[in-house]
Amino acid sequence: MRTIQKPNVAAVFGVLLVTTFVVRADNTTLQQKLESEYARTSINAEGGVVTQGVTLSLKKDGLTAGATSTCASDYSMGGKFALTGLSKATCNHVSKSVGLACKFIPGGCPILNSDPTQATRRFVRGEKFYVTEIQVADGIAFSLISDAVDNVTYKAEIRFKTQDPAQVDRMMAEVFGVTRPDNQQQSGQQVAPPAPMQAPAPSQSAAFQPPPPPDAVPAASVTVSLGQSIDQVVGLLGQPGQILDAGSKKIYLFSNLKVTFVDGRVTDAQ
């Protein structure tokens, strides 16, 4: 009687375990490579940008994205975007006639806008997207968020049925123009202007000195001679800060000069 050997379950399980580990390691390495090449944009709970990653400029018409749910599309080399899975049902568009009617309703069409099967938009070339997540499984998927359109951002996922990094790069280049964060300023991205520089506070030794009164003239720049009249001295030095009147004797006090007059003539200047 022929004996049928049973397979070694432990050996088979070991091979599967090693294979799974190798595949996961390869996927992790590939994901790290893609994330370094296509830096992700971090979005907080309120929808604000925390960290700016690459900017993707759409080069093909027809990528569908949703405002309330993510629209997933497959893409193959030289092909078109094709909605996949549940997105075929949940990412249908509002008909043109209904969309046109919404424009004449104040606030749009809130009922339609609240319906996840209607809150979608088809994007055209030139519009901007940002990578929020990269997933590597049986293929590679990029989760994207759009620039705001009428204060609404839209979410999309584009899937490539390959794990070949070179082929992914070719398809990404076919679908998007890629601008890295380090050269976005050169490509026209808005950059906040630097804060204006503030002048340092003056030191106490360089404190502001008010200008002299218009009629004040430094005494060192003029010469007061004995016998000059009051009018001549005032013409040279300007009006004094103080006048001491003792009848025929008068003393005119300037900022750094004292002039004594007797009977209207200079008798002393010091």
Predicted confidence pLDDT, tens digits, the chain (270 residues): 566 565 565 554 554 444 444 445 578 888 888 888 899 998 887 777 888 899 999 999 999 999 988 999 999 888 889 999 999 988 976 444 444 545 555 555 544 444 444 589 999 999 999 999 999 988 899 999 998 898 899 999 999 998 888 888 899 999 999 998 775 544 344 434 344 444 445 555 445 555 555 455 554 567 888 889 999 988 888 888 889 888 889 999 988 889 999 998 999 988
Residue 140 shares a structural domain with residue 263? no
Burial per residue of 145-160, b for 16 or more beta-carbon CB atoms within 10 angstroms, e otherwise: bbeeeeeeebbbbbbb
Q: Kindly list the distances between the CA atom of residue 220 and the CA atoms of 103, 168, 184, in Å, as whole numbers in the listed order.
A: 82, 85, 63
Closest CA to 24 of 136, 141, 176: 136
> Of the candidates 183, 203, 231, which is a domain's last residue?
183
In a domain, 253, yes or no: yes
Q: Domain range holding 161?
A: 10-39+50-183
In a domain, 207, yes or no: no
For residues 190 and 184, is the Cβ–Cβ distance under 8 A?
Answer: no
> Of the candidates 158, 183, 208, which is a domain's last residue?
183
In a domain, 44, yes or no: no
What is the structure's pLDDT at 213?
Answer: 55
Question: Per the structure, how many domains does the chain have?
Answer: 2
What is the structure's pLDDT at 24?
Answer: 55
Residue 115 shares a structural domain with residue 35? yes
Q: What is the Cα gyration radius of the chain?
A: 42
What is the structure's pLDDT at 4?
Answer: 58
The string of DSSP codes covering 98-119 is HHHHHTTSTT--HHHHT-TTT-
Residue 31 shares a structural domain with residue 159? yes
Residue 17 shares a structural domain with residue 94? yes
In the chain, which ranges are continuous DSSP H helix?
Answer: 9-37, 87-90, 96-102, 110-113, 165-175, 230-237
What is the structure's pLDDT at 116?
Answer: 43
Residue 106 shares a structural domain with residue 175? yes
Residue 155 shares a structural domain with residue 31? yes
In a domain, 98, yes or no: yes
Residue 109 shares a structural domain with residue 30? yes
> Of the candidates 183, 208, 239, which is a domain's last residue?
183
The string of DSSP codes covering 15-33 is HHHHHHHHHHHHHHHHHHH
> In angstroms, rounded to a whole number, what is the distance separating the alpha carbons of residues 114 and 104?
18
Residue 176 shares a structural domain with residue 228? no
What is the structure's pLDDT at 114?
Answer: 43
CA 2 centroid distance within chain:
77
In a domain, 159, yes or no: yes
Residue 178 shares a structural domain with residue 245? no
In a domain, 154, yes or no: yes
What is the structure's pLDDT at 184?
Answer: 54
Closest CA to 53 of 67, 65, 35, 69: 35
In a domain, 4, yes or no: no
Q: Kindly list the distances between the CA atom of residue 149 and the CA atoms of 120, 129, 145, 152, 154, in Å, as whole numbers in the listed order.
A: 12, 11, 11, 5, 8
In a domain, 2, yes or no: no
What is the structure's pLDDT at 98?
Answer: 44
